Structure 1
Amino acid sequence: MSIGERIKFFRKQQTMTQVQLAERAGLSRSYLADVEGNRYNPSVDTLKSIAKALHIEAHQLLDEQWNDDPAGQPGPKPAFTSKEERDIAKDLERIMSDLESGEALAFHGEPIDEESKELLRISLENSMRLAKQMAKQKFTPKKYRRE
């Protein structure tokens, strides 16, 4: 799977349009389309900004891991099911709304700026994903693990 195909895979996994990803990564939509279509090879800095916009690590766009799904389509190994992704998103939204309510202990009623809020959201999401991944690894019986 090429870098462009992996970018498209992760973008679609998050139900994001090319326009949304391009805006978040600071790119033009047409350039992103050319990268996804393998017409351009993006620079390392461009890959970093795309990865950041997708809330993934840049190495995930470069890894050559293959996992054949039941339909026979190769692709990166999915970390979570769609239900688990929805649960993470729902919990994250609940936590962020609680922080904005003014009752959050960490901010003592002080307003939090948008940049700090986004950094906190990214950090929380990564922590939640790591915790869920560790729990799956620890509590899934060996006979049911897909490795």
Structure 2
Amino acid sequence: MTVGQRIKAIRKERKLTQVQLADKANLSRSYLADIERDRYNPSLSTLESVAGALGVQVSAIVGEENLIKEEPAEYNAKEEKDIAKRMEEIRRDLENSDGLSFSGEPMSPEAVESLMEAMEHIVRQTQRINKKYTPKKYRKDDQE
């Protein structure tokens, strides 16, 4: 099921018309119709608006099969510690930067937390890729 199909299904489940949902989400009805027909891929901010108007989490709209499937990576204690250290550095840098904003608007604490979750995913993905493609003769003993 696509994002547009999920939005339409949840909208119908809530007994809302496209006009009503568009008004609640501050979108035009035609744009909402295009999203439901999968003509456009909505931005994260649009998904958040629609999810809020429908009273659901963005994950309910995106759905698990639309999320990137990754093979489970096992990290040893040192790698977990390195990931935690990198995430703390990133968080510290974000908190120390003045005027952290997105599209000219200050980021809410929820948006910052979402950004941190995405950054952790990126760090873990990079760690997994680097581990996968590092030849054994160049790996340190604790990575084997």
Both structures adopt the same fold (TM-score exceeding 0.5)? no
Of Structure 1 and Structure 2, the greater helix share is in: 2
Which interval holds the TM-score relative to the shorter structure? Answer: 0.3 to 0.5
TM-score by structure 2 length?
0.44
Bigger-Rg structure (1/2): 2
TM-score by structure 1 length?
0.43
